Chains A and B, each alone.
Chain A
Amino acid sequence: MRSSYGVVIAQVEDEIAAACAVVGAAHAGVRAMAPTSGGGFCLMVEALGLAGMTETPIVIYEAQRPGPSTGLATRTEQGDLWFVLHASHGEFPRIVLAPGTVEQAFETGWRAFNLAERYQGPVIVLADHFLATSLRDVPPEALDFDRVTIDRGALLSEAELEALVENYRRYALTENGISARAIPGHPKGVYSATSDEHDEHGHIEEDATNRRLMMEKRMRKLEEARKAVNSPALYGAQKAEITFIGWGSTYGPLRTAVDRLNAQGEQANMLHFVDLWPFPAAPTAQILATAKRTIAVENNYSGQIADLIRMATGYHIAERILKYDGRPLSPEYILENVKRKE
């Protein structure tokens, strides 16, 4: 790796070490990410909770493969959505993003770091083997560098640290749950972070009231993050006879299926999700309220986003086109199954 971009890449001994090193690096003030697939993510789960408790901004990139265990290690699946939503014990805010195209992957990359730093916790980019290993031609301007922003969130500047009059409270209780972060290294920003429950200064604290206040503070960040979550994108006609629902890498096959149906004189559209958690429940419910026939299309056995939508909105998607043979979805497979169900 060329050093001119200011990037350190370290191949460490295992995924536990990778995720922990990323937490350490982010705690020390740099942006840090660990890429892995489902099996590796299993090992990163404890560190995910550590990032949640210490409010450390980290990014984990998880490319799903068919499990459980080694499964089909060189093939594709979307079987880990519910896993990443709940990974690690305890409750803490997290953000989950699932890009489906080259352009979305590019945007998700920089957004993930911004969201991690703004809400001070873990962000998971949920890709899959199909997306990660697919090649596609895009025009150079498809990777839109002009839109890239760098938002480090509530990060105290040297001057702000200098101006502190009382002892720094890393975990100060605030209205939106976000407490200003100090990069270790300044005399007035000295504190210790801990995986234990802690007080506003970061010291271990088991008091019941403190625990309640700290849980509420952390979870308030989830509600705050909900404001930054993108709604699912509707592709095709506003009103359609068939609405497909998909997420992540199913974008391509679904879009082609929609185009082909419309070319045949049918009326179809698709609702595609990149931002999955906190779940954009209100806009999803609004769009589905006027949909006619809805079909979830997923590269898994159970229809995980269909269940997630049910949980978050109460809307039940009965029809599901699913594929769990380790191979990606294709427009032909989708169209064939639409017909079969008619």
Chain B
Amino acid sequence: MGNVKDFASPVRPTWCTGCGNFGIWNAVKRAMAQLDLAPHQVMLVSGIGCDSKLPDYTHANGFLSLHGRTVPVATGIKLANHGLKVICTHGDGDAYAEGLGHMMHAARRNIGLVDIVQDNRIYGLTKGQYSPTSDQGRVSKTSPWGALEEPVHPLAAALAAGATFVARSWSGDLDHLVDVIARALQHRGYALIDVLQPCVTFNRANSYDFYRPRVYKLQDEPGYDPTDQAAAFQRALEWGERIPIGIFYQVENRPSYEERVPALQVGPLVKQPLGKLSPQQIEALRAEYV
């Protein structure tokens, strides 16, 4: 068991008091410590948004990238060094608006990323516009008459794309969240964790008081089988009076993308020697052109 304090950064968060991001931040650090990971063995990758500042507040390798491009940047990092545990920490705007396509492709690729989406169902950093997961009818600064679109159903989308680990947790139950992140970190391939995260300033609808009586744990449901994709689909679309959390779906029978890349069979690319070609290699290369 590592020490959570190893991940302490001198930078103080700018998040509002009571923000759900504090819980997620603590859970990420606790899960890493629980698995004995040190700051140099992980890479936290984010995009832009309140949530995406998490790596700046954490002592660990990090890359705060572009809005919506968290997953492609993380994909490049993983392909260059699959020895690192690569963890994406970004918001619902980043992951499901600009980044939705990337998520679908990461899922079908089954690349070894833990994709933590801090889903507060609002654009918080830009002060309160409706997001891709806002409910239809949600009144916000950019939807004064209510949002017109059906929200994205991220877990169903990930399942449809062939994801091998699909989970939801919430920032009001730290032990549950730590457990789900720790399981995702041990998963072979892409793992999506949608985290219900109250935004105490700009989304009064999806508050702690909204979620607390509604969330229930799938693991407590008699007969729920997390390898049953059809059952997972059904639960992924459940929203309202009852909101399921836990691991909706997990299978380990598909190898990860990095396991299947021929050049990575001998180890992480960054550890492979970068040198001039031998005379034999040069001859072989030239022979391909004559």
Interface residues of A (CB under 8 A from B): 1-8, 10, 12-14, 16-18, 20-32, 46-47, 50, 54, 140, 143, 145, 148, 150, 152, 183-187, 189-196, 202-204
Contact = CB atoms under 8 A, between A and B. Distances in A.
A196 B75 contact: no
B69 A20 contact: yes
B73 A192 contact: no
A192 B64 contact: yes
Given A6-B273, A32-B80, A192-B55, A203 B11 contact: yes
A185 B81 contact: yes
Contacts of B63: 24, 27, 54, 192-194
A187 to B, nearest CB: 5
A194 to B, nearest CB: 4
Given A23-B73, A26-B80, 16 more contacts: A6-B269, A17-B72, A24-B45, A24-B73, A24-B74, A25-B79, A28-B77, A28-B81, A47-B66, A145-B277, A148-B276, A187-B38, A187-B40, A190-B60, A192-B58, A193-B62
Given A17-B72, A20-B69, A145-B282, A191 B61 contact: yes
Given A6-B272, A148-B276, A203-B56, A50 B65 contact: yes
Interface string B202-242: 00000000000000000000000000000000000000000
Interface of B: 9-11, 38-41, 43-45, 48, 53, 55-56, 58-66, 69, 71-81, 83-84, 101-102, 105, 261-266, 269-270, 272-277, 281-282, 286, 290
Nearest to A58: B76
A21 B272 contact: no
B81 to A, nearest CB: 5
A195 B65 contact: yes
B61 A192 contact: yes
B59 A190 contact: yes
A194 B46 CA distance: 9
Contact of B81 (A148, A184, A192): A184
B274 A150 contact: yes
A14, A186, A194, most chain B CB atoms within 10 A: A194
A53 to B, nearest CB: 10
A74 B245 CA distance: 51
25 contacts: A3-B265, A5-B263, A6-B272, A8-B79, A8-B264, A13-B105, A16-B72, A17-B75, A18-B72, A20-B66, A23-B76, A25-B79, A27-B73, A28-B77, A31-B274, A50-B65, A150-B274, A185-B81, A187-B40, A190-B59, A192-B44, A192-B64, A194-B63, A196-B64, A204-B11
